[in-house]
Amino acid sequence: MKAFVVYDSAYGNTRTIAEALAAGLGSMAAAFPVDRFDPGSVQSGDLLVVGSPINGWRPTPKITQALADLAARGLSGVRAAAFDTRLKLFIHGDAAGKISRALKDAGASIVAGPMAFHVKGSEGPLRKGEVDRAAAWAETLLSRLQDQGSHREA
């Protein structure tokens, strides 16, 4: 299994989370800026994690386009998860939820609910502990992938 962490980042916060996720997912994982990602490289059995800052209550246009490109080729057999970076406010957008739905609609199997990572201001930096939360979420994703694998073999 390969793991692809695809992201768009305006101020570097989403990139930092993506890189922490890729590091936590192990040696077969890599983080890719969305404009350097080849959708054809994802195969059945791989993990695809997609992240975006919230941009006007939704993912960035680059992530939205990448999701459309992935949907056009289909994601059957691909396991997926989504995250976003956002301000910690009472009311906010939900890019991760929209990304997760788009991945599912493209045929991916969602292995974890959408995850939010928080920034201090509209340009960041990330709140204290968010990089550690990303590493912990990577461990959760790996555990769920192992659980799914054992269920398939049973």
pLDDT cut 70: percent of the chain above it:
94
pLDDT score for 91:
67
pLDDT score for 88:
83
Instruction: State pLDDT tens for residues 14-38.
Output: 999 999 999 999 999 999 999 999 9
Mean pLDDT of 53-59: 90
In the chain, the number of structural domains is: 1
Rounded to 10 degrees, what is the CA torsion of 51, 97, 64, 30? 20
Structural domain range at position 58? 3-153
Are β-strands 109-110 and 79-87 bridged in parallel, bridged antiparallel, or unpaired? parallel
User: What CATH number did the domain enclosing 23 receive?
Assistant: 3.40.50.360
More confident residue, 82 or 121: 82
pLDDT score for 56:
82
Alpha helices in the chain (DSSP H): 13-25, 61-73, 95-105, 130-153
Instruction: State pLDDT tens for residues 112-142.
Output: 999 999 999 889 999 999 999 999 999 999 9
Q: Answer positive or negative: Cα dihedral of 85, 86, 88, 94.
A: negative
More confident residue, 94 or 50: 50
> Is 90 exceeded by the pLDDT of residue 153?
no
Residue among 73, 31, 62, 27 nearest 48 (CA)? 31
pLDDT score for 151:
47
pLDDT score for 4:
98
Residue among 45, 37, 32 nearest 70 (CA)? 37
> Is 80 exceeded by the pLDDT of residue 42?
yes
